[in-house]
Amino acid sequence: MLEIPVILPPDVPQLPPPPAPRRLTPTPAPKPAAVATPAPVPDIPPAPLPKLKEKVPPQVAMTQNRELDEKLNSVKKALAVMGGKKLDAEELKTVQQIESFEKQAEQTREQDLVTAVNLARRADLLAQDLLKRLP
């Protein structure tokens, strides 16, 4: 390569050459602190959270209790009828679901009447639907 000389006027002062580039050395990363292995935790299921009991006026509670009793009686009668029938696997699964809803409704009655009524309604709807499909 050919270098071309730079000619500067005489009144421009000469600057010193630029400093050599400094080499940066990477600083070592701090060593991670030793992590203690936690002691094994026994498999204990969490306690169920308590539900807030809804204040229901006495008249509404009486109506809901009556509906709950009617639905549960209807479910029991339907299950009795189904007990004498020959059911396939799908129908047996439905019967198990009806029985599960029935049991949950009875267990939930004291803590949450609204939920108990809804469970009994589901059980009754499934039971009546299954009865219509049986020969």
Q: Is residue 111 part of a domain?
A: yes
What's the pLDDT score for residue 29?
73
What's the pLDDT score for residue 55?
72
Distance of CA 73 to CAs 20, 70, 92, 96, 118, Å?
Answer: 96, 5, 20, 17, 15
Q: Is residue 65 part of a domain?
A: yes
Contacts of residue 126, Cβ cutoff 8 Å, sequence gap at least 6? 94, 97, 98, 101
- The total number of structural domains in the chain stands at 1
Q: Is residue 18 part of a domain?
A: no
Residue ranges of the chain with per-residue pLDDT less than 50? none
How many of the other CB atoms lie within 10 Å of CB of 87?
14
CATH number at residue 81: 1.20.1270
What's the pLDDT score for residue 98?
94
What's the pLDDT score for residue 130?
92
For residues 71 and 85, the answer to whether their CB atoms sit within 8 Å is no
What's the pLDDT score for residue 83?
87
For residues 112 and 50, the answer to whether their CB atoms sit within 8 Å is no
What's the pLDDT score for residue 44?
65
For residues 98 and 72, the answer to whether their CB atoms sit within 8 Å is no
Q: Is residue 52 part of a domain?
A: no
What's the pLDDT score for residue 56?
72
What's the pLDDT score for residue 36?
62
Q: In whole angstroms, what is the distance from residue 47 CA to residue 49 CA?
A: 6
For residues 48 and 112, the answer to whether their CB atoms sit within 8 Å is no
* pTM of the model as a whole: 0.59
What's the pLDDT score for residue 85?
87
Instruction: Identify the domain containing residue 114 by its residue range.
Output: 58-133
Q: Is residue 109 part of a domain?
A: yes
Q: Is residue 42 part of a domain?
A: no
Q: Is residue 40 part of a domain?
A: no
